[in-house]
Amino acid sequence: MKPLMTVTLAGGAKTEVLLADDIKDLSAHLGGYGRSVVWVFDSNTNKLFRQLPPSRIILESGESAKNLVSLERIISLALDEGLGRDGRIIGFGGGVVGDISSLAASLYMRGCRLTLVPTTLLSMVDASIGGKTAVDFHGMKNMIGTFYPANEVLISIDVLKSLSEREYKSGLAEVIKHALLSEDQELYKLLLARRTEILDREEETLMKLVELSLLVKKSYIERDPTETQGIRKALNLGHTFGHALESSTRFSAFSHGAAVAWGTVRALEAGVASGITDKKYASAASKLFGSFGYDLDHRIGRGEWIEYRNHLSKDKKKLGGEVQFVLLRGSGKPELHPLPWNLIQSLVMEKAIGRG
């Protein structure tokens, strides 16, 4: 395993991000932990092991497993196995496994060791660092959670070859979002210049893509570890629109990344309409999303607006009772603004309502 970067968060807590040469290298590292561990897989990632470790939980893959019942299963197993505070929970999977494993580790005996092995592009570039933990509650995404950074994050690029196209592109949307939030153009230029290699999952290109994307997130979370300064909220670009779309479609019609891509384009349009975002910049950024094949033209139907608005109004990113949207003054220049409901409605609904 090679050191990739160290992320330092609140109280000096450090997450070491390590890069494996391949699955064998990753397995050798994991084998050094001994027996004082509890593993959390999902029904996809457990297939990556020929022989599964005995102290394990296998969750159903997907958002539906991200709940208090799954959390209780992990904590119960840790207790049954006699795991101490110096023991370790290993989350081996995508964002759902990572979020719920991290929450379990933060709660078990007020905090045990935590290793995350992200197996999706989305979890590699986004969910694995930063310390956010969560489960969904009453149909609302990430409503119960803590801040608890992993001790280490282990990345093996070759597992990305096993992802479905939907899952792979879900992560790619977050990479594009990070490119828009970056103060330099390196990631943005990589996405433009190496689109074919990225879509073909060429390993060297993906290693660079993941590293650059993680560096963008690192720059935001280290300046605002517990999201109290307003800086880290910029990482929610596209998420306010997107989370409401996910919730109102029961997490089935859109992957998280596809919803974020859709939501980011709505945020760019909102910025243009509000006189904050330059129209040419918004158009170029939207075309970048479009070049990777996201459905950016979806519209909320008449009968869906009330539910969509209800989910939007419950968003966690509120200030003074108003939902705050991340808009862009330009690359690496995010700003938080409330938006009037009539503008939101015109951006998300059918073209016959306010967009014709």
What pLDDT is attached to residue 250? 81
Angle at 160 between CA 196 and CA 157, to 5 degrees: 95
Report the mean per-residue pLDDT for the chain. Answer: 93
251-273 mean pLDDT: 95
Predicted confidence (pLDDT) at residue 321 exceeds the cutoff of 80: no
Predicted confidence (pLDDT) at residue 320 exceeds the cutoff of 80: no
Whole-number Å distance between alpha carbons of 137 and 73:
16
**Least confident residue range of 47-56, 143-152, 345-354:** 345-354
Predicted confidence (pLDDT) at residue 356 exceeds the cutoff of 60: no
Q: pLDDT tens for residues 274-316?
A: 999 999 999 999 999 999 999 999 999 989 999 999 999 987 6
176-189 mean pLDDT: 97
Stated pTM of the model: 0.92
45-54, 111-120, 135-144, range with greatest mean pLDDT: 111-120
Candidates 52, 236, 45; CA nearest to 130 is 236
Beta strands (DSSP E) in 9-65 are 14-19, 37-42, 56-59
Q: Which residue segments constitute the domains of the chain, with CATH numbers given? A: 2-162 (3.40.50.1970), 220-348 (1.20.1090.10)
The answer to whether the beta carbons of residues 194 and 205 sit under 8 Å apart is yes
Q: What confidence category does residue 160 fall into, taking pLDDT thresholds of 50, 70 and 90?
A: very high
Predicted confidence (pLDDT) at residue 234 exceeds the cutoff of 50: yes
Enclosing H/E stretch for 87: none
